[in-house]
Structure 1
Amino acid sequence: MLPLALSIGDPSGIGPEIAVQAWLQRKALSLPPFYILGDPALLAARARHMGLDAPLAELDPEDANSYFAERLPVVALENSLTDTPGQPSAANAAGIVEAIARAVEDTLAGRACAIVTAPIAKKPLYDAGFQFPGHTEFLGHLAEEATGIAARPVMMLAGPELRTVPVTVHQALSDVPSTLTAALIEQTARIVARDLASRFAIVAPRIAVAGLNPHAGEGGAMGTEDAEIIAPAIAALRAQGIDAFGPLPADTMFHARARQGYDVALCMYHDQALIPVKTLAFDETVNVTLGLPFIRTSPDHGTAFDIAGQGLARPDSLIAAIRLARQLADNAAPTT
């Protein structure tokens, strides 16, 4: 099996150190081979700073599997990166973007089986002229640019006890009701159902759909969106053979007994989806991007500039992202 491509993320955050820590646990945890798209000098410097014994091997992706057991495989970027823990800089933007783009290129070219991305921060990228809201949208752009096919990336948070998908993502709560449409809900749910079947090996996914308003609108007493937008979308999905049901009151759909009745919760806005899954399993939850022609996972946390380089960061979510990426790649691999 091909290795995983791990983009370095913002090097001023905890990405470099948790990547090294993950590699150091490769044998104990039986981690699948991966290589880091980054700056070898920066990774070596951060490992020394952290007191970590991690010999590096600068190589091409094709050689990563051969070196992984004894050396941390690193594919060097054309753009160098500056190792300034806790001090993000727009000067690193070119390297951060290059690492993501090359991970996509390697995966689509068959040099890697999936992409794992370490966290990025938006402001340093914006300061350097980055035109996309974040990782997900940039990945969608790269996919469309490479294949000529429009991509609709969908964010899923996958933990050991719960999977959630927000229909609207990084926008103000006050803008959600005007953004939410039956068509958007349908499109998101179709992508979720397709990828749960093809990549998660869930043959007939059960999709629990959350309401927007308290008590899912309480029959119109607390808002009309649930009856006028969400319910028609669910009816349309069911007519297409997708096992979607709701709208459900969000305050009663995440307890243990309720979770047994579905495979994924389709939520109407960011916090409605992310709060329950991160509360249940913050360190084991993984961000998975659906709707792309390649597999992409990432930790569920950010750059953590405030603790970068201090020996406080835990690699648990990155390790979970590495494991899930390999599992999804195995599920999606053609059988012979």
Structure 2
Amino acid sequence: MKNEHKPVIGITMGDPASIGPEIAVKALLNPAIYELCNPILVGDAGVFEDIAARLQLDAVFRVVRSVSDTAFQFGIIDVYDLDNVDLAQLQFGEISAMAGEAAFASVKTVIELALADEIDATVTGPINKKSINEAGHHFAGHTEIYAHYTNTKKYGMLLVEDRLKVIHVSTHVSLRQACDLVKKDRILEVIELLHNGLISLGETNLKIGVAGLNPHAGDSGLFGTEDDGEILPAVEEAKRRGFDAEGPVPADTLFSKAATGYYGGVVAMYHDQGHIPFKLTGFKWNAEKKQMDSVKGVNITMGLPIIRTSVDHGTAFEIAGKGVASADAMILAIESAVQLAKNRRKNLQPA
């Protein structure tokens, strides 16, 4: 039954040739999700119906054209239908402009719905950047799409999995460019985004560890000047502004401490510096079965005027349509979106 007090969560299809539709449907077959929120899938209804039939998932769908038409009833999955995929042309695991256009349209639609206050938060399934670009949309990823359509200039990618919370100074750029982007002002900006993100998640440990860029955090300039010249001044300024920040800390020791909860959150200098330890924590590979047993981790875009969480894994084209994809990360992303929406609602209430 529809509950006005539960946050309305818009969940995108992701790339229709990927595991995105599968994990979205699997997540909404979990009755616990409907106890937490009012979920609605956004994408092509035919894609969801097709994957459910192929995998013999016990799913029933209700096609809607507006959020107001939804019932939010467990056992019947509401789909905001964009009707933009030709199933006869869709091939699992293949890059195509059609799939890219469909994935992009679902993302743009949930952004519009959130900006119009028709939904309380957005959750995104995995997209393929090449398919998106082949469709004519030249973005590096979800984060940049959201920043563009919400006119956001200061933003960051926050990864959350149990005790480990990591935000990045840079993400989808070359390693060479990432080093050039390690600048005091950006680092300070990201420390503030992380601090605000921890509060929005309801965390009480606000101690922030800031990673060094170079081996041994530069070792007093022996292995590069960025740590002493850019990172340290940013940390010192953050402390002057009242943030509980520490660094630069050599990355090879920082993350082992962070995984125990010593830091409430960590600032990584570039994509892989943060993603590798994060995925070692949340991704469990089964060597015997040659597949992931579990894929956990949530990606939250900080700094936006709307809430966006996402699975922190890719399209997994190699297993698309096979029924073995785990919905763990999608469920966690929905749970995080609910928590953020509730905290935002609480903060907006008059004192």
Separation in 2 of the partners of 1:257 and 1:112?
Answer: 34
For 2:244, the aligned partner's letter is D
Q: What CA RMSD, in Å, does the superposition of the two structures yield over aligned residues?
A: 1.8
Normalising by structure 1, we get a TM-score of 0.93
Q: Which of 80, 85, 107 is the aligned partner of 1:100?
A: 107
Aligned mates of 1:185, 1:266 — CA distance in 2? 8
Distance 1:125 1:57, change over 3 A: same
1:222 paired with 2:223, answer: yes
Partner of 2:77: 72
The amino acid that maps onto 2:268 is C
Q: Verify: 1:304 aligned to 2:306, yes or no.
A: no
Q: Structure 2: which 5+ residue stretches go unaligned?
A: 1-5, 284-294
Separation of aligned partners in 2, 1:313 and 1:105: 29
Residue pairs, 1:44-123, within 5 angstroms: 44-59=49-64, 60-64=66-70, 66-77=71-82, 79-82=84-87, 83-123=90-130
Unaligned 5+ residue runs, structure 1? 145-149
Establish whether residue 187 from structure 1 lines up as the match of residue 189 from structure 2.
yes
Q: Is the 8 A contact 2:49 2:61 kept in 1?
A: yes
Instruction: Measure, in 2, the Cα distance between the counterparts of 1:81 and 1:115.
Output: 25
Deviations 1:33-57 (A, max 9, x none): 2111111112111110111121100
1:7 Cα deviation from its structure 2 partner? 1.1
**Cα distance per residue 1:103-154 (max 9 Å; x no partner):** 011112121110000000011111121121111001001111xxxxx43221
Aligned to 2:264: 263
**Partner deviation per Cα, 1:277-320 (whole Å, 9 max, x = no partner):** 11112222101110100110111100011100011111100111
Q: Which residue of 2 aligns with 1:205?
A: 206
Partner of 2:41: 36
| Greater displacement, 291-300 / 128-137 | 128-137
Secondary structure of the 2:62 match is strand
Check conservation: 2:61, 2:78, Cα contact below 8 A: yes
Alpha-carbon deviations, 1:131-184, whole Å to 9, x = none? 21111001001111xxxxx43221011001200111111122222222211111
Q: What percentage of residue pairs aligned between the two structures are identical?
A: 37
Q: Decide whether the 8 Å contact of 1:13 with 1:88 is kept in 2.
A: no
**TM-score, normalised by the number of residues in structure 2:** 0.89
Count how many residue pairs are aligned between Structure 1 and Structure 2: 329
* Mapping for residues 241-252 of structure 1, pairs under 5 Å: 241-252=242-253
Distance 1:67 1:306, change over 3 A: same
Give 3-state SS (helix, strand or coil) of 1:6's partner.
strand
Shift of 1:194: 2.3
CA contact under 8 A between 2:159 and 2:167: conserved in structure 1? yes
Deviant stretches of 4+, over 4 Å: 27-31
Return the letter of the residue paired with 2:139. F
Letter in 2 for 1:251: D
Match of residue 339 from structure 2: 327
Deviations 1:62-81 (A, max 9, x none): 243x2431201100115335
Verify the 8 A CA contact 1:166 1:269 in the aligned structure 2: yes
In 1, the alpha carbon distance for the partners of 2:229 and 2:25 equals 50
1:7–1:37 contact (8 Å) kept in structure 2: yes
In 2: Cα distance, 1:308 partner to 1:155 partner: 26
User: Post-superposition shift, 1:196?
Assistant: 2.4
Instruction: Check whether the contact 1:155–1:287 (CA below 8 A) recurs between aligned residues.
Output: yes
Pairing partner for 1:175 from 174, 177, 181: 177
Q: Does 1:139 align with 2:146?
A: yes
Q: Do structure 1's residue 10 and structure 2's residue 15 form an aligned pair?
A: yes
Q: Structure 1 residues 256, 239: closer, same or farther in 2, change over 3 A?
A: closer
In the alignment, what sits opposite 1:147? none
Distance 1:275 1:72 in 2: 35
- Distance in 1 between residues matched to 2:57 and 2:258, nearest whole Å: 43
Distance in 2, Cα, partners of 1:44 & 1:194: 39
* Residues 231 and 28 (structure 1), Cα distance of their counterparts in 2 relative to 1, 3 Å cut: closer
CA–CA distance in 1 between the matches of 2:332 and 2:14?
Answer: 17
Question: Which structure dedicates a bigger proportion of its chain to helix?
Answer: 1
